[in-house]
Amino acid sequence: MILASKSPRRKEILEDMGFNLKIEGAEIEEISDEKELTLKIMDIARKKTFSIAEKHPTEYVVGADTIVEVDGEIIGKPKNREEAFKTLKLLSGRKHNVITAYSFINISKNIDITNYNISEVFFRELDENMIKWYIETGEPMDKAGSYGIQGKGAAFVKKINGDFFSVMGFPIGDFIAKLNEVGISLEEIKNI
């Protein structure tokens, strides 16, 4: 299977489940004309996946996109340390949504699945020293919402309502359920 992403977290989640992956990052402009947030993120995830599936029509291709949403605003990856600080200050002591959409395509088998997962994440109150310490680790710089739940960012999380793996970058349980719906069993995973 081809993973249309260079995300080490997605790679880890899928390989831990038994998938044999080839990595081919999708180089697309991550924009969508969709108005509704979930439709927008599903559209972007599908575009990423389809851009790779077009090049490999007989291969299974999976791709995903994750965003953080707070007060209706999309919080992407920070451009710099100042933006990471501002984002973490915004998330401090409150709830935000993490939305991960994924797409699974095999053109030759006429498989084209796109779905999403929303999880609520509640942050503890963060003081400026905690935020500065975290930014100094470098961890927030390549992550939506400026934190990684699977790393040092876990210290900020009070609780989650939803799917930990979706917050990490890929809702593996939902994905496996969708594969079962199209007739791909857990035993077959290592072969796709």
The domains of the chain, with CATH numbers, are 2-191 (3.90.950.10)
Tell which phi-psi region holds residue 162, choosing left (phi > 0), alpha (psi between -120 and 50) or beta: left
CB distance 134 to 88 below 8 Å: yes
- What SS3 class is residue 70? strand
E strands, the chain, in order: 2-3, 22-23, 61-70, 73-75, 95-106, 111-123, 157-161
> Which is catalytic among the residues 16, 65, 71, 112?
65
For residue 5, which of 57, 42, 51 has the smallest C-alpha distance?
51
Task: Provide the pLDDT for residue 30.
Answer: 87
Active site residue 71: no
pLDDT value of position 187: 82
Q: Quickly list DSSP for 47-64.
A: HHHHHHHTT-TTS-EEEE
Extract the tokens encoding 122.
């509640």
pTM for the full predicted model = 0.91
Neighbours of 112 (CB within 10 A): 15
Give me the tens of pLDDT residue by residue for the chain, a chain 192 residues long: 999 999 999 999 999 999 999 999 998 888 999 999 999 999 999 999 999 999 999 999 999 999 999 998 899 889 999 999 999 999 999 999 999 999 999 999 999 999 999 999 999 999 999 999 999 999 999 898 999 999 999 999 999 999 999 999 999 999 999 999 999 988 887 777
